[in-house]
Structure 1
Amino acid sequence: MALKIYNQIKEAEPQTSGEKRRKFEFSASTGWMNGFLQRHALHNIKIKGEIASADDVAAKEFPAKLAKITEKGGYTPDQVWNADETGLFWKRMPNRTYVAKSQKTASGFKAAKDRVTFLFCSNASGDRMLLVNRALKPRSMKGVNLNTLSVHWTANKKAWVTREIFNEWFVKHFIPEVRRYMSDKSLEFKVLLIIDNAPGHPHIEHPNVEFCFLPPNTTSLIQPLDQGIIATFKTYYVKQTFRYILDKLTNNKNVTVIDAWKNFTINDCIKHAGLALSELKPSTLNACWRSLWPECVKNKDHVPSNMDQYPNITALAHEIGGEGFADISSADIDELLEDKALTDDEIISLALEIPLTLDLPLPQM
């Protein structure tokens, strides 16, 4: 796949005398793809067909290394944070439902394929999210003060978290919010930010923040946000959207399920994402650190599972009724929680759109 990407980008790039052509050479090494992703600021993407298997050995060894880092830095659980992102098809319905089938032919349902990306950042107490959308300000957001949303809003053409967006979030949101949080807790403003070792992750320097990179291929085993927090959030989001449909049907007998869902906008997505986030309990956030930092977990017996909400979603679907709702299954719900891996063409498209040099100043201390 690496050779295919190299050749297609080389062919796609314009060769004019007035423009400096991007310079990168291909070599058949395993590091070429990592270098390519890093140069093009492709932040933590999943590549179709190349998702590596989990490294059990590294996952078992790393918690001891983290314990030494936290001990040396004198970090408390309030000062240790984890950031990670996930994609969500915000207007998707299970394929077996008549709503999903109508989306393939009816007008006004283009958004069913639209994907937003949520960047989560949390310690044991939780924090706000960054939402990345395709359009800078869709019509449904007209007149909405973006500063009042339950998430931080930004946009790019593909709804992906690039290195530039991650840097902007870090400077404009993470630093000021965590500084206030530490002040409220009467704690020193020093934090440890744990992120995975994706090729596109930026290496940022800040006097109050120490970065800790997880070993490659260990996120599914030890990254706190991947141990149930993101999955639980998505499950709450699905529950909220099903409740939205049911409320529309209850309040207006002339409204159909298709009508209700057709009118569901990105603004509604944000509102329901905020509601889903508010349902995440501190005990759940804390318990998801058990694989990485077991010493900070208060309730050793609490094992969060997003499937706890499946009966509630099923009950709401039954009340909505109709094909695909009346007989909804766990597999149908799982379908709504899935993200997608990028294809070769999507990687190439994104690489050609993103500037190679990104320079965002850090705030003055």
Structure 2
Amino acid sequence: MLLEKMEKEELTKDQLYNVDETGLFYKNLPEKTYVLSSEKNAPGIKSYKQRITVLLGTNATGSHKLKPLIIGKAANPRCFKNFQLPLEYNHSKNAWMTTDIFKKWFHHSFVPQVKKFLASKNIAQKAILLLDNAPSHPPAEQLISEDGKIFVLYMPPNVTPLIQPMDQNVIRITKLNYRACLLSSILSTTNNSDIITAIKNINLKEVVINLTAAWNKIDKEMILKCWKNILKEDEFDDEDEIPLSILMRDDLDINVRTKELALLLNTADTNEYSLEDIQRWNRDEITDNENYSVSSEDTNLTENVIETVEAKISDYEALEALNKTIQWAADNDIFEQVQ
């Protein structure tokens, strides 16, 4: 379906894009880092749970990495005064993506960025943006450029977590890179006994600098790997079975970076950190439990109502469980027995 659409529109992989959002607790460190258990209940501990939403995206060749968008709560953060933002910033009541923010980003940021890139490569200014069916994403008819040449294509919901390029490690590795930058920044200005004070002093300006550095570390080779599933399987209808090759994802890159971050933590801290500790930290499990996007029509929600939103299993947690099940089946020759 996708490749047929691209052929019909005479589009190359340079003209195919995907973006996705993720929550980020930008001050949070692993629980073991807070040496004294009493500190977990100390005044100001809520600052460790300060959250932003990050939107990341690229084209299918990795030749164009879009400028990241972050969404915070403050309309005009004081720390941004006299600071030239290397990425884009917007705000909402709960630092979540909304339909209004996404629509504005599409027309005033995505379309201009794409047109500028394609013009620089002497490529026709036409493009497709692949999206999942998140509630914060407006209907496709609202996401079309004025000339109609840049538009959105929504992926089938049953396979989106498994084939969406930004979900195939790009976001997770960007977050791992960010946390390495965060930890390095903290350790370069303080000692272990003063880590909590250092965390409290982190502001959005430092977050922007570290996140930009983390995004810049994502290379073309990594991006190409994350597009291979959706470009290999060009027919994904709502009733299709998901191929085993798609389910068995290559997590080599995520494991390498997880080990690097574990080594950094183990060197800097008296606690010992396992790979699972790092993965749990990077998943922002509290963020995933608050994985609820509000639209412009939902602005009358109160904080109390929002806090009672039922926790859901994240896509990452579901995929991890599925991957382990598939590995178990392979180890026990279940597939051969079925055949």
Q: TM-score, normalised by structure 2?
A: 0.74
Measure, in 2, the Cα distance between the counterparts of 1:233 and 1:154: 20
Change in CA separation of 1:237 and 1:225 when aligned onto 2, cut-off 3 Å: same
Change in CA separation of 1:320 and 1:349 when aligned onto 2, cut-off 3 Å: farther
Equivalent residue for 1:37? none
Change in CA separation of 1:244 and 1:99 when aligned onto 2, cut-off 3 Å: farther
Measure, in 2, the Cα distance between the counterparts of 1:235 and 1:190: 33
| Structure 1 unmatched ranges of 5 or more | 1-64, 355-365
Instruction: Note the alpha carbon deviations across 1:5-58, whole angstroms, 9 max, x for none.
Output: xxxxxxxxxxxxxxxxxxxxxxxxxxxxxxxxxxxxxxxxxxxxxxxxxxxxxx
Instruction: Note the alpha carbon deviations across 1:43-77, whole angstroms, 9 max, x for none.
Output: xxxxxxxxxxxxxxxxxxxxxx1110111111111
Q: Secondary structure at the match of 1:96?
A: helix
Measure, in 2, the Cα distance between the counterparts of 1:121 and 1:99: 37
Equivalent residue for 2:267? 319
Equivalent residue for 1:22? none
Measure, in 1, the Cα distance between the counterparts of 2:26 and 2:226: 25
Q: Secondary structure at the match of 1:84?
A: strand
Instruction: Note the alpha carbon deviations across 1:60-102, whole angstroms, 9 max, x for none.
Output: xxxxx11101111111111100011111111111122226956
Q: Which residue identity lines up with residue 20 of structure 2 in the other structure?
A: D
1:343 CA displacement: 7.8
8 Å Cα contact 1:94-1:100 kept in structure 2: no
One of 297, 307, 310 as aligned partner of 2:255 = 307
1:350 CA displacement: 8.0
Is 190-199 or 155-164 further displaced after alignment? 190-199
One of 160, 177, 182 as aligned partner of 1:241 = 182
Equivalent residue for 1:336? 281
Equivalent residue runs for 1:109-128 within 5 Å:
109-123=45-59, 124-125=62-63, 126-128=65-67
Q: Secondary structure at the match of 1:288?
A: helix
8 Å Cα contact 1:90-1:114 kept in structure 2: yes
Q: Which residue identity lines up with residue 34 of structure 2 in the other structure?
A: Y
8 Å Cα contact 1:89-1:336 kept in structure 2: no
Identity of aligned residues (%): 30
Q: Secondary structure at the match of 2:54?
A: strand
Which of 1 and 2 has greater Rg?
1
Change in CA separation of 1:179 and 1:273 when aligned onto 2, cut-off 3 Å: same
- Name the count of aligned residue pairs: 276
Equivalent residue for 1:363? none
Measure, in 1, the Cα distance between the counterparts of 2:162 and 2:258: 23
Equivalent residue runs for 1:1-365 within 5 Å:
65-98=1-34, 101=37, 104-123=40-59, 124-125=62-63, 126-141=65-80, 143-145=81-83, 148-202=84-138, 203=140, 204-206=143-145, 207-249=148-190, 256-294=194-232, 305-322=253-270, 326-338=271-283, 339-342=287-290, 351-353=298-300
1:195 CA displacement: 0.4
Measure, in 2, the Cα distance between the counterparts of 1:149 and 1:102: 38
Q: Secondary structure at the match of 2:32?
A: coil
1:340 CA displacement: 1.6
Which has the bigger relative contact order, CA under 8 A and spacing at least 6? 1
Change in CA separation of 1:114 and 1:318 when aligned onto 2, cut-off 3 Å: same
Runs of 4+ in 1 over 6 A off after TM superposition: 346-350
| Structure 2 unmatched ranges of 5 or more | 235-248, 302-339
Change in CA separation of 1:262 and 1:101 when aligned onto 2, cut-off 3 Å: farther
Q: Which residue identity lines up with residue 69 of structure 1 in the other structure?
A: K
Measure, in 2, the Cα distance between the counterparts of 1:331 and 1:318: 13
Change in CA separation of 1:239 and 1:178 when aligned onto 2, cut-off 3 Å: same
